[in-house]
Amino acid sequence: MKRLVTLASGAVLYSVSASPVFAQSSVTLYGVIDNGIVYQSSSGSNSAVRAVPGGLFATRFGFKGSEDIGGGIHVNFQLEQAFSGQSGAATNPADAFNRLAYVGLSGGFGEVRFGLQNSPQYDVLQAAMDPSWVKSIASPMNNFNGLIIRANNGISYYTPTFGGLNAKFMVALRDSSSGGGNGIGFYNAVVQYTNGPLNVAAGYERGDEPGVGAGGSYTLTGGAAAGPGAVFTVFNAGASYAIGSNRVWLAYHTERLTNTPKYMQHDVYQISDSYQFSPAVLCSLMYGYVRDRTGEGNNAQEIGLLYEYALSKATELYTAAGFIQNRHQAAYTLAGTAYSGLALTPGTDTRGIGVGLVHKF
């Protein structure tokens, strides 16, 4: 359960009713701990059993708060740090908050944010692409695609929702850590439409020199590495429709990363189905196919299964399984949300299964 921490200065507590000049503000401490065990093997005789953090959710803690300053306007902030639930070590000890560190305003006009933040593609669009929100070894989209997860120096705007339609925009300015001194290094736009059982979303992003240097502005998924002058572009689209306890999902992803091996230019297609057997049991089946756009035939396909059992509103057990069939020089592997899969000999198949326990607070 989320715990509300009331801010105080020394031993003095300020009441909203005591002085109408000061609005009420609060800070919420929250977090997720996800630990598990995974087994993975390949046709190249490589196998391992590992204790892993973040098989379904990235383990993290954070603080978020909001102050009502009147006139329907709120000042919001969020700070978030990722760490290993297995060792307690911060994912990046050099950063006090390596996932989120932003402040912004919200009201009838929508919301604006300034600072380190998730890209709209990662924050919003992935939830429309498959029942796992593109997480775990069971999700082909998680294993096949790349994405700029978040960026420093971000400026974003989230529109209000009109008739089920909304849009989200973000740019990130360059600094000395991102390969350039000034200008825009990243931009992202997402449009989403929800109406009853229907959810449709699409988005485009472009990042120049993503992940340059150890302190680069961008966190890039998909095992990609880019050097100076590289440009990373992504288009994603997802749609799902619910019929009773069943929901069907369709998703498409295309990406291009220059100054890298040709296998970074590909399309991913995915179809999924999820069924809510009971309030506590959700089962999802996912199939994905990645097509090499270079014509060299480095294609792959995966089938994945995710089973989630809710012990309570805050705790769940899960089992995720996947099988990837690689072709020619393709070497896609099964990766958890917060851990890497086994390195493979190109063209070999891989399979894996993991179990984990998640607690949210």
In the chain, domain spans: 3-360
* Least confident segment among 221-225, 287-291, 334-338: 221-225
What pLDDT sits at residue 1? 37
Does residue 218 register a pLDDT over 90? no
Q: Which residue has the higher pLDDT, 292 or 176?
A: 292
Q: What is the token pair recorded at 57?
A: 């959710």
Name, in order, each residue with C-beta under 8 angstroms of 11's C-beta and a sequence gap of 6 or more. none
What pLDDT sits at residue 226? 57
Reported as a pLDDT band with limits 50, 70 and 90, residue 25 is confident
Q: Identify the burial level of 348 via C-beta atoms within 10 angstroms of its C-beta, where 0-12 means exposed, 13-18 middle and 19 or more buried.
A: middle
The span from the CA of 128 to the CA of 292, in Å, is 24
Sign of CA dihedral 124, 128, 132, 137: negative
- Residues 236 and 125: beta-carbon distance below 8 Å: yes
- Residues 130 and 272: beta-carbon distance below 8 Å: yes
Q: Residue 106 CB: number of other CB atoms within 10 A?
A: 17
- Phi and psi at 143, nearest 5°, equal -90, -20
User: For 3-360, CATH number?
Assistant: 2.40.160.10
Nearest to 172 by CA among 129, 134, 229, 115: 115
The span from the CA of 16 to the CA of 145, in Å, is 49
Does residue 142 register a pLDDT over 50? yes
- Phi and psi at 222, nearest 5°, equal 90, 5
Q: What is the DSSP letter of 160?
A: P
Q: What mean pLDDT is reported for the chain?
A: 87
pLDDT per residue over 30-56, tens digit each? 999 999 999 999 986 789 999 999 999
- Residues 246 and 275: beta-carbon distance below 8 Å: yes
User: What average pLDDT does the segment 238-265 reach?
Assistant: 88
Q: What is the DSSP letter of 15?
A: -
What pLDDT sits at residue 335? 95
Reported as a pLDDT band with limits 50, 70 and 90, residue 19 is very low
Rg (CA), the chain: 21
- Phi and psi at 121, nearest 5°, equal -60, -45
- Residues 59 and 343: beta-carbon distance below 8 Å: no
User: What average pLDDT does the segment 342-357 reach?
Assistant: 95
Does residue 191 register a pLDDT over 90? yes
Name, in order, each residue with C-beta under 8 angstroms of 309's C-beta and a sequence gap of 6 or more. 280, 281, 316, 317, 318
Rounded to the nearest angstrom, the gap between the alpha carbon of residue 125 and the centroid of all alpha carbons in its chain is 9
What pLDDT sits at residue 147? 87
Fill in the amino acid letter for 169: F
Does residue 91 sit in helix, strand or coil?
coil
Does residue 182 register a pLDDT over 70? no
Does residue 173 register a pLDDT over 80? yes
Q: What is the model's pTM?
A: 0.87
What pLDDT sits at residue 15? 36
Widest distance between CA atoms in the chain: 72
Nearest to 148 by CA among 175, 127, 117: 117
Q: Residue 1 CB: number of other CB atoms within 10 A?
A: 9
The span from the CA of 197 to the CA of 272, in Å, is 16
What pLDDT sits at residue 104? 98
The span from the CA of 230 to the CA of 212, in Å, is 9
Q: What is the token pair recorded at 10?
A: 């020394």
What pLDDT sits at residue 10? 35
The span from the CA of 339 to the CA of 139, in Å, is 14
Identify any residues that bridge with 83 across adjacent strands, giving them in sequence order. 90
DSSP 185-226: EEEEEEEEEEETTEEEEEEEEEEESTT-STT-SEEE-TT---
